[in-house]
Structure 1
Amino acid sequence: MNTIPEELLTEISEIFTATLFQLGENPVSLRSLLELIVSFMAVLIVSRAFTNFLKESLLVKLGIDEGNREAIAVILRYLIVAFGVIIAIQGIGFNLASFAVVAGGLGVGIGFGIQDLTTNFVSGLTLLLDRPVKVGDFVELEGLMGIVKKISIRSTIITTNDDSSVIVPNSNMISSKIVNWSYENPLLCLRLSIDVADSSDPLLVTETLLNIAYAEAGVLYEPNPKVFFVEFGDDCFKFELLVWTNRPTDREVIKSSLNFAIEYHFRQQKIDFPFNERDLYLRNPEFLLSLFNKNETAIDTNSGSKNGRKMVVIAEKMKKRSPLSCLLREVEYFENLTDLELRQLIEVGYRQRLQPQEILFHENDPGDAFYMILSGSVEVFVEAIDKHLNNLGTGQFFGELSLMLGIPRTASVRALEETILFAINKEGFQKVLTERPDLYEHIIQQIVKHKEELSERQKELRKMELVDAAEDDENPVKWVRKRLKNLFAVGTEN
């Protein structure tokens, strides 16, 4: 009774072990194929599990960034798969030497059919090893912008700002020009072109744009936002606002927010955008006038009133001045500066935001910046004995002598509330002095008016051994000139 089942099992065994075809010197059976498939599946499962653990756990603990984690994981996965396949083939008794001969013969013919696949494969290895682009980078490719989510051997997946996943062949990533906004420097520069009416005050436009930029949450204080007067257009002035952000994925949101703010603040400051005027020429004006003869007088009257109102508005705008420029003119060293010189001061300056009780600087810190309070208030005090000296509010300034003469701070300053400061540091002040030698001489004349204070500061510097012997002089004018020359590398000794 057991004869039939035994014969059936024997037949089934013979079917599985029977040679289907020869691969070089190696016979291929159904059993060897099944063993090979199971081995391949096991290799894939093990490689995926191991690299996922590596990428999501071990490499994270080691502090490796996302892009490097992905590259390491992908390369190791394919190495594990490659070695696993070789071991699996040898494990079922295949002779790889003879198999290589057959594969070499087939490879010539197959290679022509999978050229694109091979190109993408090599390109994928280049991306993973050379890493011009890595996972997490914000890139722009042929009008496509987004974050690189995955780099495989064949393709790269980019997630756009609208959450669409775009699969890009690796060959395109290598051969096309890519703007990698995250390469080395993760900051993104945004450029906004703004045209204003030619009746606008360029100084007011510059300050308004800078105020808008500093007030935007997504804009960085460093690098400082910049405003360029690009050119004179037809009935307009062309400006460009440059800001930097570390949130490249929000670039459109930030630009939109800035545009809204520009429209609002320009309206508040009475800064007009240019409007295009068009002249209409008629072939038969007499015929048209005959049709509207009754309204001719009204049209002329209205036209005149509009032009009159326009002239009044322009006159009012010309009288309006930049608030910050007015504040800077309250500083005696800057009171006689022209609008161009004031604009340069505003451009080299920057905004600094302080939270309540935040210390701006301590006594004896280097005097490397001049500050003006745009909003809020600060307390000036002696920290060593916790003695209150003064409170300063909006429009007041401090630190000008410390900056100009390189004198250490004589007191500490902290914010009493949320405060925004306009600041000019040593580098910015040096740039202005270098380009404006007349300002250099004017400042010297203003400084030496305070002979008593100047003498006290000079004595303090001598005690602290901060006065170079070559610059020391009993004549305050000569000493200040030498001091400025040494600190800012400008001017000539008289």
Structure 2
Amino acid sequence: MLNETNFQLIFDLLTKILIFFERPTVQLQLALIILTFFLAWLLSNTIIIGKSKIKLPLKLRRLNKNNVIVINYLLFPVSALILLILLNNFMNSQGFINGLVVRITTLTLIFTLYRLFLSLTYIIFHEKTVKHYHQHFFIPLVFFFIIFQLLNELTDIQQLANVVLAKIFDGVITIGGLLQATIGLYLWIYALSGIQDITYRILKNKTTIPPGILEGSLSLIRYFLIGLGILVALTNLGLNPTTIAAITGGLSIGIGFGSKEILSNFISGILLLFEGALKPGDVIRLDDEIATVKKLSIRATTVLTPNNVEKFVPNQTFLTSSVITYTGSNSVIRLLIPIGVSYNSNPEQIIDLLIQAGQAHPHVLSDPPPSVYFIAFGESSLDFELAVWLDNPIIYKRVISELNLAIWKIFNEHNVEIPFPQRVVHLRN
């Protein structure tokens, strides 16, 4: 329960904020600031490159993509910053109080530098990756920073942080401790994920360590640091070591019974990463479907099918069931194409024609060369198999289709008959 002192501190803070916003000078500054940001928004959306309805100078229209990204990201904050500076100078010249405008101008300058940094990351790194961290890390970070700065102007932030929310055993939970444990841990987890991605991109081409082992090592380090972050978060909540041990001990029992599958996938992921049995780019057959391994992580493996569908496969699947890989030691595979011809055909001629069809295809390897096997005397046909080699397993269906079409054409050119099953029925009286 909150005591009377805590209630009084929060009540005093709210009263102070209300009194602050009731001042005419503050209301005037707020109105001018809102108007300034609205004008900056209109201006930036009017001249934004690539979407502008007005005719821009020829030099602006010929800018490359990277320059366009930087300019478009800076149009709004720079416009707002310039207008705020002009507003600040005007209010100084007229003798108006402009303390709030000055503080908002400083925050807008920081926001402009943030947008510049963000535009550079879009240029350097992959757009999808940057967008992910932009939405889940940078936006919350900037939002919390701005809120902290505004509260710091309105009240004693340290006094507010020490307000007690609850008591657990011998420890107390304060507002500051709760915010550090939640917001801090959230940002810590995403920061570690970003650092892991950047480190992997830098090291994978500059070291002889296999990619699987490198990614596995970085993942283990990240999870270890996340564990340390959780302990720090619990400490910031005001919990002593005895309380933390009691809570984690109880949770470990529940996790042991309820998260057996998660633990199994976690261990399987570590084994896959360190063994290097699978790596990004490998072509595998999973559930009677060809797929390309896109990403290996601790919990699941992401694969991409030829239909451009992503699947998340639990890691234990690769250790508890049979999985065919076409790129284990190398990416060369052999295709066997069965074909039957009439008993009136010359087998030696058929072998020559099939080899010609295989050699003519651009994706069929010349070493090993195509070969033909006379495998059986069928019920209504002489059965052959054309064996060809490919170095790209993902296109095997297209190659089979094109080879079948080529065989059909070359057989028609040489009057080779492809029979179909026939039955002779004798009727008895």
Contact 2:164-2:172 within 8 A present in 1 as well: no
Matched pairs, number: 279
Supply the distance in 2 between the matched residues of 1:117 and 1:5 (Cα, whole angstroms): 44
CA contact (8 A) 2:181 2:234 kept: yes
2: CA distance, partners of 1:7 / 1:276: 91
1:181–1:188: 8 Å Cα contact kept in structure 2? yes
Query: Residue 12 of structure 2 corresponds to which residue in structure 1?
Result: 8
Aligned pairs for 1:396-411 (under 5 A) are none
Matched, 1:197 2:342: yes
Whichever residue aligns with residue 51 of structure 1, its letter is Q
Once the 2 structures are TM-superposed, how far is the Cα of residue 252 of structure 1 from its aligned partner?
0.8
Distance (whole Å) between structure 1 residues aligned to residue 274 and residue 291 of structure 2 = 22
Contact 1:123 1:170 in 2 (8 A): yes
Q: 1:125 to 1:63 in 2, by over 3 A?
A: closer
Alpha-carbon distance, 1:264 to partner: 1.0
Partner of residue 266, structure 1: 411
| 1: CA distance, partners of 2:314 / 2:351 | 45
Q: Percent identity?
A: 28
SS of equivalent residue, structure 2 residue 205: helix
Q: Tell which deviates more after alignment, 235-244 or 63-72.
A: 63-72
The structure-2 alpha-carbon separation of the partners of 1:248 and 1:230, relative to structure 1 and needing over 3 Å to count, comes to: same
> What do residues 331-386 of structure 1 show as CA deviations (whole Å, max 9, x unaligned)?
xxxxxxxxxxxxxxxxxxxxxxxxxxxxxxxxxxxxxxxxxxxxxxxxxxxxxxxx
CA-CA distance at 1:6 after TM superposition: 8.6
Partner of 2:166: 19
1:60 lines up with 2:60 in the alignment: no
- The letter of the residue matching 1:123 is S
**Does the Cα contact within 8 Å between 2:174 and 2:237 map onto a contact in 1?**
no
Structure 1 length normalisation: TM-score?
A: 0.51
CA contact (8 A) 2:364 2:388 kept: yes
Q: 1:58 to 1:225 in 2, by over 3 A?
A: same
For the 8 Å contact 1:20–1:30, the answer to whether it is kept is: no
C-alpha separation in 1, matches of 2:238 and 2:269: 32
- Contact 2:264 2:316 (C-alpha < 8 Å) held by counterparts: yes
Q: CA deviation at 1:210?
A: 1.7
Distance (whole Å) between structure 1 residues aligned to residue 211 and residue 398 of structure 2? 25
SS in 2 for 1:43: helix
| 1:14–1:48 CA distance, 2 compared to 1 (3 A) | closer
The structure in which a higher percent of residues are strand is 1
Deviation of 1:114 after TM superposition, in Å, equals 1.9
Deviation of 1:80 after TM superposition, in Å, equals 3.7
Shift of 1:93: 5.7
Indicate yes or no: 2:43 matched with 1:39. no
Aligned-partner residue type, residue 380 of structure 2: D
* Residue 27 of structure 1, CA deviation: 4.3
Match for residue 384 of structure 2 among 232, 239, 253? 239
The residue identity in structure 1 corresponding to 2:413 is Q
Matches within 5 A, 1:379-418: none
- Note the residue ranges of structure 1 that are not aligned, 5 or more in a row: 285-494
**Shift of residue 143, structure 1, vs aligned partner:** 1.0
Residue in 2 aligned with 1:213? 358
**Counterpart secondary structure, 2:420:** coil
Q: Compute the displacement of 1:181 (Å).
A: 0.8
Equivalent of 1:183, from 314, 328, 331?
328
Matches within 5 A, 1:290-309: none
Return the letter of the residue paired with 1:226: S
**Letter matched to residue 327 of structure 2:** S
Structure index of larger Rg: 1
- Evaluate the alpha carbon distance shift between residue 265 and residue 113 of structure 1 in structure 2; reply closer, same or farther with a 3 A threshold: same
The reply on whether 1:48 has 2:193 as its aligned counterpart is yes
Q: Deviations over 1:464-487 (max 9, x none)?
A: xxxxxxxxxxxxxxxxxxxxxxxx
The alpha carbon displacement at 1:233 in A equals: 0.9
- 1:352 corresponds in structure 2 to none
Distance 1:257 1:67 in 2: 36
d(CA) in 1 for partners of 2:228, 2:342:
70
1:225 is displaced (CA, Å) by: 2.2
How far apart are the structure 2 equivalents of 1:142 and 1:227?
30
TM-score by length of 2: 0.58
Q: Residue 60 of structure 1 aligns to a residue in which SS?
A: coil
Aligned-pair Cα RMSD in Å: 3.1
Q: Show CA shifts across 1:195-229 (max 9, x none).
A: 12222222222222222222211111222222222
Inter-CA distance 153–96: structure 2 relative to 1 (3 Å threshold): farther
Distance (Å, rounded) in 1 between the aligned partners of 2:357 and 2:219: 45
Match of 2:273 in 1: 128
| Matched ranges for 1:69-468 at <5 A | 70-71=215-216, 73-90=218-235, 94-96=239-241, 98-281=243-426
Matched position secondary structure for 2:364: coil
How far off its partner does 1:190 sit? 1.5
How far has the Cα of 1:231 moved from its partner? Answer: 1.5
Partner-residue secondary structure (3-state), 2:200: helix
Change (3 A) 1:238 1:66: farther
Letter in 1 for 2:281: G
1:99 CA displacement: 2.1
Q: Deviations over 1:40-74 (max 9, x none)?
A: 12222221221221233342344777656654554
CA distance in 2, matches of 1:109, 1:5: 39
Residue 8 of structure 1: how far off its partner (Å): 2.7
Q: Is the 8 A contact 2:234 2:244 kept in 1?
A: no
Cα distance in structure 2, aligned partners of 1:145 and 1:114:
30
Distance 1:268 1:65 in 2: 52
Q: Cα distance 1:76–1:35, how it changes in 2: closer, same or farther (>3 A)? A: same
Query: For residues 88 and 6 of structure 1, what CA distance do their matches in structure 2 show?
Result: 24
Distance in 1 separating the partners of 2:179 and 2:395:
52
Structure 1 residues 113 and 148: alpha-carbon distance in aligned structure 2, compared to 1, 3 A threshold: same
Compared with structure 1, are the counterparts of its residues 260 and 78 closer, same or farther at alpha carbon in structure 2 (3 Å cutoff)?
A: farther
Partner Cα separation in structure 2 for residue 17 and residue 162 of structure 1:
56
Alpha-carbon distance, 1:147 to partner: 0.3
State whether residues 68 and 134 of structure 1, in contact with CA within 8 Å, keep that contact through their aligned partners in structure 2.
no
What is the CA–CA distance in structure 1 between the aligned matches of 2:241 and 2:409, rounded to whole Å?
A: 74
Q: In the alignment, is the contact (CA less than 8 A) between 2:331 and 2:391 conserved in 1? A: yes
Answer 1 or 2: which has greater helix percent: 2
**In structure 2, do the counterparts of structure 1 residues 189 and 112 end up closer, same or farther at CA, with 3 Å as the change threshold?**
same
